[in-house]
Amino acid sequence: MMNLLALQHILIVQQQQQADDHVIAVKLIRRRRRRRARLRRCWVRPWLGDVRREQFGHFNRLMPELRREDPASFQNFLRVQPEMFDELLTRLGPRITKQDTNYRKAINPGTKLAVTLPHLASGDMYSSMEFDFRLLAYTLSLVVKEVCQAIVGEYKDEVMKCPITPGEWTTVAEKFERRWNVPHACGALDGKHVAIRKPANSGSLYHNYKGFFSIVLMALVDADYNFLWIHVGGDGYMSDAMIYNDSELKECLCNGSIGFPVPAPLPYDNRDTPYFLLGDDAFGLRTYMMKPYAARNLTKEQRIYNYRISRGRRIVENAFGILAQRWQVLLGTMQQQPETARLIVEACVCLHNLMRTRYPTLQNGALDHEDVNHQVVLGSWRNNANMHDVDRAKGANKDSTAAKKQREYLKF
C-alpha cells in the first residue's frame, strides 16, 4: 500500500515538473520572438551611412567647392578662413580622432570640426543640421561637445593668458593709455547673460530678472578686445556683483596677489596713483576698481572723468558684441545642459581670441569709434541682436573712502 502511494506521488511530481518546463519553454520562445521583432534592419538609416556622407555631406561636397571657388563664402559659412580651418584641424586632430571598430567607421576629425564651427556660428538645431552633414542629431550633440572640449584644452592657456606679473599688467595699462587715453587701466570688466533652455528640476536657479533662463559670462577685456579672464560659472539669478564677489579675481584684487604694478605717477604728475580696473555701478568703488559718477548734478570735471572712464569701459561691450556676432549660438536659446553650454561659451571665447590674434582687422569694422569731434559712432554690432546685460545689485554699494578720494583726484 505504501509503495503504491509513493509511486502516485512521484508521478504527480513529474507531471508538475513537465508542466513547469512547458511554461518556461513557452516564455523563452515568446521572448525570443519579441527580440527578433525588435532587431533593426540596419545599423543606421542608409542616407546617414558613411558612403553617402562622404559623397553628399557638406564636408566632402560643399566645403571643397567653397574653398576652391569662393573663399569668402567659405569664411562666411564657418566664420574662419581656410588657413585657420587647416590650423584648427591640425591642432585639434589628435584630440578628436577615434579608432574604427568592427561595427562602424569612426567619424573623421575634419567632419567633426566642420560640424562644430557652423553650429557655433549660427546656433542651428542639431535636428536640422543632420540633413546637411548626414549625421544623426544625437551624434552631432556628442561631436560638438567633444570638439569644444578639444578647443578649450588646446588653446585656452595659449590665447587667454591673464597677466600675473607687474610687467604684464604694465603692458596692458600702456595699451589702454595709448589707445584710449585712460592711464593705469588694466582692463574693463562686465557680464552678459547667455540664454539656455530650462534645466530639469532647477526651479528658479537659472531664471534671470529679464524673464528667461540663462548662465552668465563675466569677462575682463584688454584694450585690443581680447578676453584676459572669464568666469562662466554664474547662474541666471545672480547679479554682476554676486558673481564678481565669489570669483578668484575679486579675491586676488583684495589680497594683492593679482600682481598689479606698484602705484606710480600719472602722466605729467608726481603723485603715486594705484593701477585699477574699469567697471560700472554693479561694482563697489575701490582703489583697484574705478567707475563713473552717478549721472546727476555733475560738474564739468566729473563729466570729463565719466567720458574718459566710459571710453575705456566701452571696450568690454564691443568685445561682447564681436563675440556674439561671430558666434551667434550665444544669441539664441542654447538647448544643451548648463555644463555643455558653459563649455561652448568657453570655446567661443578661445576662438574669438585666436581670431583677434590671427586676423584682427576682419572684426574692427563692427566696433564703436569716434569721429573727428570725439562723438561716439556706434558700431554695426549694436544694430543686431546682442547679449543681455546682467542685473545689478540692489541697493547702494559701500564705496571705500580711499577710492572716492582717488576718483576725485583722477577727474582732474
What's the longest Cα–Cα distance across the chain? 127
Query: Hey, how many other C-beta atoms are within 10 angstroms of the C-beta on 154?
Result: 17
Can you tell me which residue has the cell 564703436?
Answer: 368
* Length of the chain (residues): 412
E strand or H helix at 39, and its extent? none
Tell me the residue type at 71. P
CA distance 111 to 348: 19
Contact 267, 383 (CB under 8 A): no
In tens digits, what is the pLDDT along the chain, a chain of 412 residues?
456 666 666 666 667 777 667 777 777 777 776 655 555 555 567 666 666 777 677 777 888 888 889 888 988 888 888 999 999 999 999 999 988 887 778 888 999 999 999 999 988 888 888 888 888 888 899 999 999 999 999 999 999 989 999 999 999 999 999 988 899 999 999 999 999 999 998 888 998 888 899 999 999 999 999 999 999 988 888 888 888 888 899 999 998 899 999 999 988 888 899 999 999 888 888 999 998 888 778 888 888 888 888 888 889 998 998 899 899 999 989 999 999 999 999 999 999 999 988 876 655 556 655 555 655 556 665 666 677 777 655 555 566 788 778 877 777 6
Can you tell me which residue has the cell 557638406?
Answer: 58
Whose CA is closest to 194, among 337, 325, 315, 342? 342
Predicted model pTM: 0.82
CA-to-CA separations, 303 to 220, 298, 370, 411, in angstroms, rounded: 25, 6, 17, 9
Domain edges within the chain: 46-156, 166-410
